[in-house]
Structure 1
Amino acid sequence: MSAKLIYTEVVETLQGSKANIRCDTLAEQLARLGFEVRDGRRGGHKVFFHDGISAFTSGSYNCGHGRNPEIKPAYIGKVLRILRQYEDEIIDFLERTES
């Protein structure tokens, strides 16, 4: 699968389920793009990093409480803005790791 197609699928998945995406799903989608998701300092907080994007330090979102809770739409919007901002770098990273 091409890097651009993977990127597009992830963005469309997040856009399409903006109001009801679960914490595990978001982490899986970010991992498809090469991000590493870790637990934050407080319960429910997640921090994500990408070693292939030099200008990007980290982003975060809050999963809330409970088992695999839904993420608030504002956090999904924040993640989507980051993905769009670094689209070229993410696709370039995916292409480099593909071969």
Structure 2
Amino acid sequence: MTEVTIDKLAFKKSLSIIEQMKLKDFMFKWLGRPEEGIDNILPLEYTQTVFAKMETPSDTNFMTEGNETLRYVTITEDNQIVIGVLDANDELKFRILYLKDQ
């Protein structure tokens, strides 16, 4: 994963149903195709607050490697997949996932 600053990203204002499903599928594969399915392990809800994203509900604390809490996954205008995580200090960080990271 690559760490970037917010000023380098242009997020989409809305996501099509296909883009939403692709993001869920991407997360399912990124998590190693869990038998329980993505919705049981990591429920994602479509929101358009500030920008379009598939967001974890506020009562979900899904931890990633590095002790970070997953907040959302989205797509930029350049069709890059971006994950927003909270670090140990509750600071929001953005990570661009490249195909080699899958």
- Coarse TM-score class (shorter-chain normalised): 0.3 to 0.5
TM-score normalised per structure 2: 0.33
Determine which structure has the larger strand proportion and give its number: 2
| TM-score of the aligned structures, taking structure 1 as reference length | 0.34
Report which of the two has the higher share of helix.
1
